[in-house]
Amino acid sequence: MNGMHLCPNCNGKLPLRKFFLVNNFKSVRCPHCGARLVPDKKTNSLIGGIAGFSTALTVGLATVVYYLLGEMYGTLIVLITCLLVIMIYLASVLITRNVVDFKTKNFSNEKN
Ligand SMILES: [Zn+2]
């Protein structure tokens, strides 16, 4: 778990936006050396847990907000829910950034 948000190939710092892609289980490309990076298998399940938890939390909070405010504040509910979704998503990205362990994708084992 060292150098968590650094490229394992060149030690270059990976920009935060790259972690939006990791959250979707995609490989990312290092902007410094061009290496393709994939989350470590151990971290992959952790990312899945974080993504699942944040989705459940978002749906739960949206439901709570809806039932608390009812239909009196329709626009407000939409705004609050949007804000919550954005905040939860950003938080999950930040958590992912702190727990993810990258490894370089080995091309020799794959077909092109
Ligand atoms: Zn790199």
Could you read off the pLDDT of 66-86 as tens digits, one per residue? 777 766 667 777 787 788 888
Provide the domain count of the chain. Answer: 1
Whether residue 2 is contained in a domain is answered as: no
Q: Is the model's pLDDT at 33 over the cut of 90?
A: yes
Segment of 15-19, 28-32, 92-96 carrying the highest mean pLDDT: 28-32
Cβ 62 vs Cβ 92: under 8 Å: no
Q: How far is the CA of 23 from the centre of ligand 1 (A)?
A: 19
Task: Confirm whether 42 is domain-assigned.
Answer: yes
6, part of any domain: no
* Residue 104 dihedral angles phi and psi, to the nearest 5°: -75, 140
Q: Is residue 48 included in any domain, yes or no? A: yes
Confidence of residue 21 (pLDDT cuts 50, 70, 90): low
Rounded distance from Cα 96 to ligand 1 centre (Å): 19
Please give the distance, rounded to the nearest whole angstrom, from the Cα atom of residue 14 to the centre of ligand 1.
8
Q: Give the highest mean pLDDT range of 18-22, 27-31, 64-68, 74-78.
A: 27-31
- Joined together, the tokens standing for residue 35 give 């290496």
CA 37 – ligand 1 centroid, Å: 9
> Does 33 reside within a domain?
yes
Instruction: State the Cα–Cα distance between residues 47 and 107, nearest whole angstrom.
Output: 23
Q: Within a domain: residue 46? A: yes
In sequence order, the 6+-apart residues with CB closer than 8 A to the CB of 94 are 16, 19
Domain hosting residue 93, numbered range: 18-102
The answer as to whether 82 is a domain residue is yes
43 within some domain: yes
